[in-house]
Chains A and B, each alone.
Chain A
Amino acid sequence: MATLIIKDLHAEVDGKEILKGIDLTISQGETVAFLGPNGHGKSTLLNIIIGHPRYHVTKGSIFLDDRNVLAMTVDERSKAGLFFGMQNPVEIPGVINSDFLRASVNAHSSKPISTYNFYKKLDTSTKELKMPFDLATRSLNEGFSGGEKKRNEILQLLLLEPKIALLDEIDSGLDVDAMQTVADVIRKEQEKGVGFLIISHYARLFELIKPTRAIVMINGRIVIDGDPSYIKKIDQTGYEFIKTELGIEIDKDELDMNKVSIGECGIKEIIR
């Protein structure tokens, strides 16, 4: 049974410290609800675990059992059993979804999957997610609705069979029926022993998948690591109790304006 162990993790982006000492352990079989106001570092932590180049770890460690995750490249982390379902999956024009999915499956296997077995697996998984099969033949995420993109993320989870899955607001953009479908799939994966760390702002998904723990991140630190009852408490009363009961002031989320806007006629030359 794999365990992800994060110790005293500090990290920054663009010179600004976002994570200020994270200690967290997640094992296969656990489902951890990851809560906290916007802009306090939840997505940053998930990006750092999977290795996004924009974020820089300044101190601390992440291990998957005895393997040093921070020493791995992004693809090695995936192959080691970590999966990151993204909040805003990118659209990649021209890259056909099924080509990408097959290449990803092959990257996780010592032997390339046969065409028959791949399409059989793809067919089973798309049916499970109630996805139209033609999504597999379109450019990766291009023109997908918000809900289709999220289902495509879960489709990848099914195909890649990770040990620990990190899901960032996987429920946003899903209608009620789609959320039920995704929750059903997550429940099946829970039964297979996949560990989950799931960010969501809504209790609905958590009601359906029954997390085993809840953690709350405030100001770049995990201030609560406890039982799932916090999900209901936060859903009903918000984060005010953090201040009144724990005495922690909650920093406000500051949004920077976009620095550059290039219109249709813009010519962007990075290398000349």
Chain B
Amino acid sequence: MKRNDLHDESSLGVCSSHTLSLKENEQVQLTIKPSEQNYVFVSDFFAGSVLNITVEENAKLQLSLLVKNNFDGAQINVDLGKNAHISTFFADFSKEKEKIKVSINLNGEKSSASWHLASLAAHKDNKEFEINILHHAHETTAISNNFGVSKDQSKLVFSGCSAILKESHGSKTRQNSKIMVFDPECDAVARPILKIDEKDIEAGHGAVVGRIPEDHLFYLTSRGLDESQAKRLITFGYLKPIVRGFQDESIRDEILSLIERRM
């Protein structure tokens, strides 16, 4: 793996784990060399940060981000080579107003990508995640799973397009977006878009925005949990699966603690 951050370039080895920290408005280039496998944990990701990633032929990258700061205007751009793979886990506990744009380009044949987002919006947070996944080559596969919780007067938007472009036959793409809203004054929008320019493909999307189902609350309260305990348990279960994308146990504990505290 190479990190080219305008100032420095260093090889970080093969089959290894790394922690990456981006400053405000900093641009970083990560390159995963052919056949390398890397786990990269991004500990800091600020407003204007731009993370450009190239995963070369047959290489694999697991990218895990824990974001607690304002990241307005940040970008993640990914280019995948032939048979390359990226799994991204984005745990968002940032505050205030922000928008991030993610572009994942499946350029090489049989490349694949999975994107997992867990976002918690509270108080007057105003967040938008634009996730674009572009299939440029044949037999590419991608899945985008976005889970959000919106409470108080916050606004949370999941948008973006999964596009299967020409010459991408045999490709598969899927978008899932779910936002749970807690309070009458919060606002949540899930806008999944599919663009299909090729035949012989599979594509699907699903979006749900709604309150905690009444029958879920009834079931849990019928076992003695009061309503706030039941809501907390459901929310915890909704956001908790993101921790599987983080290798370090202390980071996983920190995420669970952030969910607890911010709920």
A binding-site residues for B, Cβ under 8 Å: 50-54, 73-75, 77-79, 84, 86, 89-90, 92-96, 99-100, 103-104, 107-108, 139-140, 156, 160, 264-265, 267-272
Given pairs A95-B237, A107-B226, 6 additional interface contacts (CB within 8 A): A53-B218, A73-B226, A99-B236, A99-B237, A267-B190, A268-B208
Q: Enumerate chain B residues within 8 angstroms of A75, measured Cβ to Cβ.
A: 221-227
A50 touching B210 by the CB < 8 A rule? no
Q: Are A264 and B206 in contact (CB under 8 A)?
A: yes
CB distance from A263 to the nearest CB of B (A): 9
Nearest-Cβ distance from residue B183 to partner chain A, whole angstroms: 8
Residues of A within 8 A of B218 (CB): 52-53, 74
Docked-complex contact A270 and B211, CB < 8 angstroms: yes
A108 to B223, CA, bound (A): 9
Tell me if A104 and B224 are in contact (CB < 8 A): yes
Interface of B is mostly: mixed
- The chain A residue sitting closest to B204, CB to CB, is A264
Given A267-B207, A270-B209, are A86 and B241 neighbors across the interface (CB < 8 Å)?
A: no
Chain A residues whose C-beta falls within 8 Å of the C-beta of B229 in the assembled complex: 103, 107
Chain A residues whose C-beta falls within 8 Å of the C-beta of B221 in the assembled complex: 73-75, 78
Q: Please name the residue on chain B nearest to A96 by beta carbon.
A: B237
- Report B's interface with A, CB cutoff 8 A: 181, 184, 186-190, 204-211, 213-216, 218-227, 229, 233-234, 236-241
Give the docked Cα–Cα distance between A104 and B226 (Å). Answer: 10
CB distance from B214 to the nearest CB of A (A): 7
Known contacts A93-B237, A139-B237, A107 near B206 by CB under 8 Å: no
A113 to B205, CA, bound (A): 43
**A270-B150 Cα distance, complex, nearest whole Å:** 13
B223 interface neighbour in A73, A96, A156, A269, Cβ under 8 Å: A156
Chain B residues, Cβ within 8 Å of A108: 224
Q: Which residue of B lies closest to A139 (CB)?
A: B237
By a CB distance below 8 angstroms, the chain A residues around B238 are 93-94
- Which residues of the other chain, A, contact B189 by a CB distance below 8 angstroms? 269
- Of B190, B208, B227, most buried by chain A (CB within 10 Å of CB) is B208
Query: In the complex, what's the smallest C-beta–C-beta distance from A55 to chain B, in angstroms?
Result: 11
On whether the beta carbons of B215 and A90 are closer than 8 Å, the reply is yes
Q: Are A92 and B224 in contact (CB under 8 A)?
A: no
Can you give 26 A-B contacts (C-beta < 8 A)? A51-B222, A52-B218, A53-B214, A74-B218, A75-B226, A84-B222, A90-B216, A92-B220, A92-B234, A92-B237, A93-B237, A94-B236, A94-B237, A99-B237, A103-B225, A104-B225, A107-B225, A264-B204, A264-B205, A264-B206, A267-B190, A268-B210, A269-B188, A270-B209, A271-B181, A271-B187
With a CB–CB cut-off of 8 A, which chain A residues contact B187?
Answer: 271-272
Contacts of A84 in B (CB 8 A): 222
B215: chain A residues within 8 A (beta carbon): 90
- Chain A, Cβ-Cβ closest to B184: A271
Q: Are A160 and B224 in contact (CB under 8 A)?
A: yes
CB neighbours of A100 from chain B (8 A): 220, 223, 233
Q: Which residues of A contact B186 (CB under 8 A)?
A: 271
Interchain nearest-CB distance for A8 vs B (Å): 25
Q: Which residues of B contact A139 (CB under 8 A)?
A: 237
B209 and A269: CB pair below 8 A?
yes
Q: Which residues of B contact A93 (CB under 8 A)?
A: 237-238
Nearest B residue (CB) for A89:
B219
Q: How far is the CB of B122 from chain A (nearest CB, A)?
A: 15
State in angstroms the CA–CA spacing of A99 and B181 once bound together. Answer: 23
A139 to B216, CA, bound (A): 13
Q: Are A267 and B209 in contact (CB-based, < 8 A)?
A: yes
Bound-state CA distance A165–B187 (Å) is 41
Bound together, the chains give a CA A258 to CA B240 distance in angstroms of 33
Residues of B within 8 A of A51 (CB): 222
B191 to chain A, nearest CB (A): 8
A104, A156, A269 pick with most chain B CB within 10 angstroms: A269
A268, B211: Cα distance in complex, Å: 10
Nearest CB on A from B231, distance (A): 11
- Neighbouring B residues of A156 by C-beta, 8 Å: 223
Nearest residue in B to A94 (C-beta to C-beta)?
B237
Residues of B within 8 A of A54 (CB): 214
